[in-house]
Structure 1
């Protein structure tokens, strides 16, 4: 299937210029060749490489989105398990600006969509991906690596793109190509998704998952991870991951009847009768899930003019943390 794509970039913050600077895109094949030249120097590439991912739908529509997003980011970055990869869904333009202005993000992360707001035009929100600069190589790291083995433990970065999906709501799949130091001949893809919402869009979600699974099977790609808000609201959604020969990381680790796992509707009484569900998922191809847990949101105070303030969760979704190996 031919897919339409919008090329994007990853950016690193240039502290001297006080601005976000796009990392020049590098040809994935040339990176693979460079890796092979390094392996010829008897560098051990047989070891598995471990990465950790946090994915969170941060809720665009509740009050105080910027404040809530900051609290979620603090929970992600200041906990004992600092992630290598962060997938965010329902990022509004104001939240995007707040993320790009955050000192912690500027100091330690590479981000998508810092170059412009194209991905946020004509839609109420979009996805953003943030990568640890400790684990993923910037262009400067790549230049150093050409001199020898410096930075060998870092993943090289390839293409960044948004795959246009058949969608009622203008959704897409944001992916970043990475090349592991322990698998120098293979590209893996990190795909951040927010599939179509509500029960009537199941046919769209089925098409979306098939298309994204096909992206992981393209020539030169050894697989990868698709994670985010799958909006798996109906019983028929539960079969879509298996139907596309993907591995549901939660099911692989906890089983289908395992405890917990719900990321939406927890502790909420709904008039439509829908109960807690695993709307957010991590699906894999060619990777191995090691650990996975649900991240519970805290609460934020909401002032109400003339009334007593109330507290609401940071988001209507729980987050997911998943550790996997390549």
Structure 2
């Protein structure tokens, strides 16, 4: 969620632009663009990876300290230790000032690719945007795209099917992971923009070059038909509450002191996927209910989601 003006959003702003991935070079002591195909082709492919999404709130104070808190929480509470498992981390509402901490964090430098490397590729006025982190054992294809209409980072990764015979004997398939942030609640055209933006993301998962994929992020899912949209577009929402679940337990926003009380708590954040072949995403776990900085401030007004993608 955010409360920035959305006047620059347009149903016509859907162009795609190539972005680069960067890794930190310890000898040069700087982030450098890498040719991912050359690096990733030499690595064994994974069958499973973790998918994490977290909106970390650009509107709050102490954005650097909160970024520090978020990374500490991800490292020690979610990914459990110094060496993370194969994973993709989707961050939304990263403040431009917090990018400094992201680039200087020792854990990130050692284990992750990052895109974008700075705020210059975000939509004007470039104050905040999405960032995708890929654990460096994951095989990432070279082409990454960014949609101008709101925020969506598109990354293609290579995974190994457990049963290649189900994939015409292929030893690897391309799965697309989209890091998105749909339109803000504070716009009169929000429902139209959100539906159109989600449709664009779904269309990107249907391209012939990829074997389906995952959309994760802040969906700002407050519309009456938010759940139906996912179904109508032919995707599965593994976090959708069922009759055995207290619906509020699935909510990811609205529990913090700074909550604008005119909005109820809600399941604003989601991870959804294409039901194709053996591609499966588990029901996500919600995290961050106790995520605070050393000063006692909430890391974010959102909780995060973590799940596993299997092929």
Contact 1:291 1:324 (8 Å CA) reproduced: no
Indicate the residue corresponding to 2:9 in structure 1: none
1:219-241 deviation per Cα after TM superposition (whole angstroms, max 9, x unaligned): 12111100000000222222221
Contact 1:87 1:129 (8 Å CA) reproduced: yes
Runs of 5+ unmatched residues, structure 1 = 137-154, 166-170, 303-310
Q: C-alpha displacement at 1:2, in angstroms?
A: 11
What TM-score does the superposition give when structure 2 sets the normalisation length?
A: 0.80
Indicate the residue corresponding to 1:173 in structure 2: 152
Q: Counterparts of 1:104-253 in structure 2 under 5 Å?
A: 104-114=107-117, 117-119=120-122, 121-133=124-136, 135-136=137-138, 155-165=139-149, 171-182=150-161, 184=171, 186-198=173-185, 200=188, 201-251=190-240
Q: CA–CA distance in 1 between the matches of 2:50 and 2:229?
A: 24
Contact 1:190 1:224 (8 Å CA) reproduced: yes
Check if 1:6 corresponds to 2:20.
Answer: no
Runs of 5+ unmatched residues, structure 2 = 1-11, 162-169
Indicate the residue corresponding to 2:59 in structure 1: 61
Q: CA–CA distance in 2 between the matches of 1:173 and 1:313?
A: 25
1:2/1:117 Cα in 2 relative to 1: closer, same or farther (>3 Å)? closer
Q: Counterparts of 1:82-93 in structure 2 under 5 Å?
A: 82=84, 84-93=87-96
- The structure with the larger Rg is 1
Q: C-alpha displacement at 1:64, in angstroms?
A: 0.3
Segment of structure 1 superposing worse, 230-239 or 116-125 = 116-125
Q: C-alpha displacement at 1:158, in angstroms?
A: 3.3
1:257/1:204 Cα in 2 relative to 1: closer, same or farther (>3 Å)? farther
Contact 1:188 1:221 (8 Å CA) reproduced: yes
Q: CA–CA distance in 2 between the matches of 1:269 and 1:64?
A: 14
Q: CA–CA distance in 1 between the matches of 2:95 and 2:31?
A: 19
Check if 1:16 corresponds to 2:9.
Answer: no
Instruction: Please give the secondary structure, in 1, of the residue aligned with 2:251.
Output: coil
What TM-score does the superposition give when structure 1 sets the normalisation length?
A: 0.77
Q: C-alpha displacement at 1:275, in angstroms?
A: 1.6
Q: C-alpha displacement at 1:290, in angstroms?
A: 2.6
CA RMSD of aligned residues (A): 2.9
Q: CA–CA distance in 2 between the matches of 1:91 and 1:269?
A: 18
Q: Counterparts of 1:295-314 in structure 2 under 5 Å?
A: 295=287, 296-300=289-293, 311-314=296-299
- For residue 101 of structure 1, the aligned residue among 82, 104, 113 is 104
1:162/1:232 Cα in 2 relative to 1: closer, same or farther (>3 Å)? same
Q: Which has the higher contact order (CA 8 A, sep 6+)?
A: 2
Instruction: Please give the secondary structure, in 2, of the residue aligned with 1:78.
Output: helix
Q: Kindly indicate which of the two structures has a greater share of residues assigned to strand.
A: 1
Number of positions where the alignment pairs a residue of Structure 1 with one of Structure 2: 278
